[in-house]
Structure 1
Amino acid sequence: MTNSTIPLLPEMAKIWQQTLNWQPNEQQQQKFQQLYELIVLGNQKLNLTRITDPQEFWEKHLWDSLRGIAPKGQFIPFLSENAAVIDIGTGAGFPGIPVAITMLNCKMTLLDSTRKKINFIDESLTQLTLSNAKTCIGRAEEIGHHPQHRKRYDVALIRAVSNAAVCAEYTLPLLKQGGLSVIYRGNWTEEETKSLQNAVNQLGGVIESVEQFTTPLTNSVRHCLYLRKVVNTPASFPRAVGIPTQNPLS
């Protein structure tokens, strides 16, 4: 059921197909629309996102979320095979909720430290009838040491967190060996890759690839970094709350 006062999202079937070799079915399209409406209405009470224009929302929240899990334009294969996925610092639910809508076989955990945002997401998951997603309130530095979370995930997603070394320290402890960390970035340089290498190495990972791409409507340059966990992360990581951001690994 759509809210008649809120505009319809563009379908963009052709762009989905060209960029991800996929397009949403009718049910997924409906859930994207429903998510958009929940965000627009939720924004009236909570500061969830400044992106509410339908085309901008489609590009920056839906397409961008899914492009991250589709390196080289193909979805990460094990996402369709009951993969355990965590979205760290999910905010209003991105990229986690669009991924959960698209990959119904994956088990999504949406982590945020802000109770109001988690409450909003809980309500949204009920409205969207998304049984493959659940929330967790907490800080990445703390849950990274929790037996329920440490070494439990196949994929860790992290978007809109500043420093890449910080993102690596938040994600790699949570991954099983062989798991993949996906770090969403705007700009990125070769020098940054070199300086990140040592931090990732300390955490038991390798930089598997860095992908540059442009967004389909505004031609903005974006990057995704893919880190593979190859050995166990030392028990001292992640460091205590606040330390990774104050003193990023180098």
Structure 2
Amino acid sequence: MTNSLPEIAKIWQQTLNWQPNDAQQARFQQLYELILEGNRQLNLTRITEPQEFWEKHLWDSLRGIAPQQKFISSLEAGASVIDIGTGAGFPGVPVAIVAPSSKVTLVDSTRKKITFIDKILSELSLNNATTVVARAEEIGQQQQHREKHDIALIRAVGNASVCAEYTLPLIKPGGLAVIYRGTWTEEETIALQNAVQQLGGEIESIEQFVTPLSNSIRHCLYLRKIATTPAKFPRVVGVPTQKPL
């Protein structure tokens, strides 16, 4: 018997004002099974128990693109989305599943992970998603990606100023960067404000919320791009993490 993900339509509805249709639910289940299988060869995630996977990978991925419990409107309009450091495909793959008219680019520097995600995309027939093997600092300087995307997603444990330097150069003026976080403090807001200003952005909002099953506190930071990012950003590989803005 394969592990079945919980079908918690009520929680989706209460928290995101949305629920997956049958086809999306089936894809979520298939994604879960593929990740369990892939985990045997690659260390993709420690989160394998069905409810935990649902909350920490599926729900969390989609909560990030739903500020004030509503999906970012440009997703319906076919936004170009880029997911930096996608790892096992989060948040980008769930976003591609629920926003079929959007175009999602999944970026990771580990080729093995990208090869695995290519398999997922083909098994799930997700024609609206593509992959790139690259470091965040490199892709931010590439003409085909620099200031070409509407939304940039980054779910990382790193310093938020570093996440801002990775994402803001990739989005068009008017676009949005979404940084997924666990804990967050007022001091971090001040440091982030300084970084975001240098990168042509502003902090639009910081949302704190509680996860629906384990009641953990999470944050999402929404950065709006208001001006062109200076050409020197992102700085060369390694520098953003060593010397955050």
TM-score bracket, normalised by the shorter chain, equals over 0.9
Runs of 4+ in 1 over 3 A off after TM superposition: none
Unaligned ranges ≥5, structure 1: none
The DSSP-based 3-state class of the residue aligned with 1:212 is strand
Equivalent of 1:96 in 53, 68, 92:
92
Q: How far has the Cα of 1:133 moved from its partner? A: 0.3
Answering whether residue 74 of structure 2 is matched by residue 78 of structure 1, we say yes
Deviations 1:131-157 (A, max 9, x none): 000001101101111100001000000
| Worse-matched range after superposition: 155-164 or 25-34 | 155-164
Q: How far has the Cα of 1:158 moved from its partner? A: 0.1
Could you tell me which amino acid in structure 2 is paired with residue 238 of structure 1? P
Answering whether residue 58 of structure 2 is matched by residue 62 of structure 1, we say yes
Q: How far has the Cα of 1:194 moved from its partner? A: 1.2
The DSSP-based 3-state class of the residue aligned with 2:204 is strand
Equivalent of 1:36 in 28, 32, 35:
32
Answering whether residue 166 of structure 2 is matched by residue 182 of structure 1, we say no
Equivalent of 1:136 in 132, 138, 144:
132
Equivalent of 1:171 in 167, 174, 185:
167
Q: How far has the Cα of 1:189 moved from its partner? A: 1.1
Q: How far has the Cα of 1:191 moved from its partner? A: 1.7
The DSSP-based 3-state class of the residue aligned with 1:233 is coil
* 1:68–1:184 CA contact under 8 A, matched in 2: yes
Q: How far has the Cα of 1:242 moved from its partner? A: 0.3
Answering whether residue 44 of structure 2 is matched by residue 45 of structure 1, we say no
Deviations 1:168-202 (A, max 9, x none): 00000000000000000000011211121010000
Pairs within 5 Å for 1:96-135: 96-135=92-131
If the length of structure 2 is used for normalisation, what is the TM-score? 0.99
Q: Percent identity?
A: 71
Matches of 2:134 and 2:38, distance apart in 1: 21
Could you tell me which amino acid in structure 2 is paired with residue 199 of structure 1? A
Answering whether residue 141 of structure 2 is matched by residue 145 of structure 1, we say yes
Matches of 2:125 and 2:157, distance apart in 1: 28
Matches of 2:106 and 2:153, distance apart in 1: 10
* 1:161–1:167 CA contact under 8 A, matched in 2: no
Matches of 2:104 and 2:158, distance apart in 1: 23
Deviations 1:108-166 (A, max 9, x none): 00000000000000011000000000001101101111100001000000002410000
Answering whether residue 187 of structure 2 is matched by residue 191 of structure 1, we say yes
The DSSP-based 3-state class of the residue aligned with 1:44 is coil
Matches of 2:122 and 2:193, distance apart in 1: 41
If the length of structure 1 is used for normalisation, what is the TM-score? 0.97
